[in-house]
Amino acid sequence: MSLYSALYAGVSGLSAQSSAMATVADNITNINTVAYKGVEAQFRTLVTDGRTSASYSAGGVAAAPLAQVSKQGLLQASGSSTDLAIDGGGFFITRNGLNESDPVAYTRAGSFKPDEEGYLRNSSGLYLYGWRLDASGGYTNTGNLDTLTPVRLTDLVGTAAPTNKLQAHINLQSDAAVYSGTPAYTTGSLASGAVTPNFTRSFTVYDSQGGSHELKMSFLKTGSNQWAMETYMNPASAVGAPAVGGLVRSGTVAFNGDGSLNTTASTAGLFDPLTVNYTNGASSVPINLDLGKNGATNGLTQFGQPSSLVSGGTNGGVLGNIAATEVSKEGIVSAIFDDGSSRQVFQLPIATFPNPNGLTRLSGNAYSSTRASGSMTMNPPGQLGAGKISSNTLEASTVDLAGEFTNMIRFQRAYSASSKIITTVDDMLREVSDLKR
């Protein structure tokens, strides 16, 4: 009977408008929730028979909530360096525990703070995960979530970091006399002290146990725009084979007529990373040399001023107390120590999905993957569709309060109208029942 179908259509209207009102309530109550994505109620028709017939049977309506996960919220400044926001697509990868068996949750709520054990967790208690960097600052992206570890920096206190970078901007005096004394210069003469160099500079480098060693760079002018360069350890006994007499590397440094570095005419491999074999049993990592680029004046130069170190230094050493935490746009988490030194510790990945709106919502403003969302891909920030990370920033809720109040009025009126359908059908059914009297 069509009256009953109208009755059921009114009931479906009440149910649909109730669900729609629930989305409004959820949105309004989460207007200040970090990175909350507003939920939109979308309605779809229900039909009992799509064919035209003499007697029409009403179907009704159903409400389908849709979270606008892909919508970017406003980025707002924050006072904490571990408050993170994603500028672009993607999600932070988190778990609700410290074990690989704990469920994975994807979130854009980046209000991370260290807990009592030093792990970074957001306001929902989710642990932030990332790739831990090795001593040389590298990591391997296999695409497997099991390679990620919870982000924690406090375990660095009291440990050591080997030197993996040496930067030097050294000027060599262009009008220095070309060496022509005795004994004649041969490889190793500067390291052994047989020949006095025009300029020597010492650098302190550290092995993996925090032991300090003196690394020297000496220069001797051997021709027009040419200098002999030797890099060696002092004392020579600090380094073993293949070094001889402490000599780690030697060669010829060439300069252009304008005083800039000429790496093409210099000894091949002279500026490659140094590998040092310490005799104290401590391991080391290759030391990357930053001595300038070809044709540039930001490293080794040759000008008329006296030979000197313009700027430079090394990293590494025994790590003290952590004074601050920094996160770059590329997602590199660095620990800043109280002595001013820093160390890159973690690389944060960004998870992306072909259809982020297909993710399933979880409590704590997080999401889990589904078939509708597609397969997860994780990459460093800024690569292959992954957004960049902004520190000292939080993403605001995408809820528009004015729009939600407007929807509230719409859904309330529609709910009242659906109730009128039910009362009207009830009156009509009463008329039918009165026919028997």
Give the residue carrying structure tokens 């039909």. Answer: 47
Decide: helix, strand or coil at residue 345: strand
Of 173 and 2, the one with more pLDDT: 173
pLDDT category at 235 given cuts 50, 70, 90 is very high
- 198-218 confidence digits (pLDDT tens): 999 999 999 988 899 999 999
Query: Rounded mean pLDDT of 167-182?
Result: 95
| pLDDT (tens digit per residue) in 152-168 | 988 887 788 889 899 99
d(CA 381, CA 350): 6
pLDDT of residue 52: 59
85: nearest Cα among 115, 105, 111, 67: 111
The CA distance from 246 to 329, in Å, is: 41
Whether residue 1 has pLDDT greater than 60: no
Host H or E run for residue 215? strand 212-223
Instruction: Tell me what pLDDT residue 337 has.
Output: 85
Q: What is the pLDDT of residue 342?
A: 82
Tell me 148's DSSP state. Answer: -
ω into 183 cis (within 30 of 0):
yes
Task: State yes or no: pLDDT of 388 exceeds 80.
Answer: yes
pLDDT recorded at residue 14: 94
Q: Quick: pLDDT tens for 293-325.
A: 999 999 999 999 999 999 999 988 888 888 889
143: left (phi over 0), alpha (psi -120 to 50) or beta: left
Give the pLDDT band of residue 343 (cuts 50, 70, 90).
Answer: confident
Whether residue 350 contacts residue 92, with contact meaning beta carbons closer than 8 Å, is answered with: yes
pTM for the full predicted model: 0.75
pLDDT above 80 for 54? no
**Is the model's pLDDT at 136 over the cut of 80?**
no
Q: How high is the pLDDT of residue 53?
A: 62
**What is the chain's mean pLDDT, rounded?**
92
Reduced to 3 states (helix: H, G, I; strand: E, B; else coil), residue 163 is coil
- 232 against 50, higher pLDDT: 232
Cα(174)–Cα(305) distance, rounded to whole angstroms? 8
b (16+ CB within 10 A) / e for 157-172: eeebbbbbbbbbbbbb
Check whether the bond before 197 is cis (ω within 30° of 0).
no
For residues 378 and 89, what is the distance between their CA atoms, to the nearest angstrom? 12
pLDDT at 46: 87
> What is the SS3 string spanning 74-120?
CEEECCCCCEEEEECCCEEEEECCCCCCCCEEEECCCECEECCCCEE
| Cis status, amide bond into 242, omega within 30 of 0 | yes
Amino acid in position 178 = V
Closest alpha carbon to 92 in 386, 400, 310: 386
Nearest-angstrom CA–CA distance, 146 and 131: 10
Mean pLDDT of 164-182: 94
Render pLDDT for 322-335 as a digit per residue (tens, 0 to 9).
888 999 999 999 98
Per-residue pLDDT of 79-101, as tens digits, reads 999 999 999 999 999 999 999 88
